[in-house]
Homo-oligomer: A and B are copies of this chain.
Amino acid sequence: MAYEELEKQQVEGTDSHKEHGTKPNISPAVVRRLPRYYRYLRELLTQGITRISSSELSARMNVTASQIRQDLNCFGGFGQQGYGYNVHYLFTCISEILGVGAGFHAVIIGAGDLGRALVHLSMFEKRGVDILGMFDSDAGMEGTEIAGVTIYSLDKLEQFCEKNQVDIAVLTLPKEDVPAVAERLVKCGVKGLWNYMGVELDYSRDDIVIENVHLGDSLMILNYEICRNMEKKQGAAPAQSLDGE
């Protein structure tokens, strides 16, 4: 019973002090962690866990309980002293914060391997983003469907955007074409670009939000860490090499 009461009470806005509307300015470090909370809470839900304390969650996520509490408190008081957090309620709140319920519509520009791979992953639907279509400069592809998503000719981009509200564009087209297409998309009123193509599109414009995905960077970090790990082992345990002899 306590669960429902808690949820009801908090949903109705008895939030102690912080207005949910007035977000001061959340630090990037906190924002980067939010999706991780989202994932773990979803996992808890599927496991049927309805209540969790910051210390329990901290053990599962391998971060400090302090950090969890402080991160969440950037957005408001979602828990209850002496009780913990109601998983369902917290999940709902974080979903809200992350705009899962915003009902954004996306298009994928570039129907190459990467574009195709992305549609197939359940990534978008899980996060409340609806893919309206794919666009490719190869007009020959037009009409083809991939995972239920239709491919259009890139020429028809503007036409399409007039008829449909497009919020997000996923850029998986060749590097050299990215800047021009990005410009077109901004003109169409697209609000965010999810850019996979190494091209640095760091406009500090306020009419577009850009999220760059640098897969190559991630690979190089892995490379680096492997090198470091090898060095460490070599240095730490030179005697071990006798074992095999």
Hey, which bits of chain A sit against chain B, CB under 8 A?
23, 31-32, 34-36, 38-39, 62, 97-100, 102, 104, 112-114, 116-118, 120-121, 123-124, 126-127, 129, 167-168, 191-192, 194, 198, 202, 206, 209, 211, 213-233
User: Which of B104, B192, B206, B225 interacts with A209 by CB under 8 Å?
Assistant: B225
> Copy number in this complex?
2
Asked if B216 and A211 make an inter-chain contact with CB atoms under 8 angstroms apart, the answer reads: no
Nearest CB of chain B from residue A176's CB, rounded to whole Å: 13
Q: Which residues of B contact A214 (CB under 8 A)?
A: 35-36, 39
What's the Cα separation between A31 and B217 when bound, in Å?
A: 10
Nearest CB of chain B from residue A225's CB, rounded to whole Å: 4
What's the Cα separation between A179 and B102 when bound, in Å?
A: 34
Nearest CB of chain B from residue A218's CB, rounded to whole Å: 5
User: Which of B113, B218, B219 interacts with A113 by CB under 8 Å?
Assistant: B113
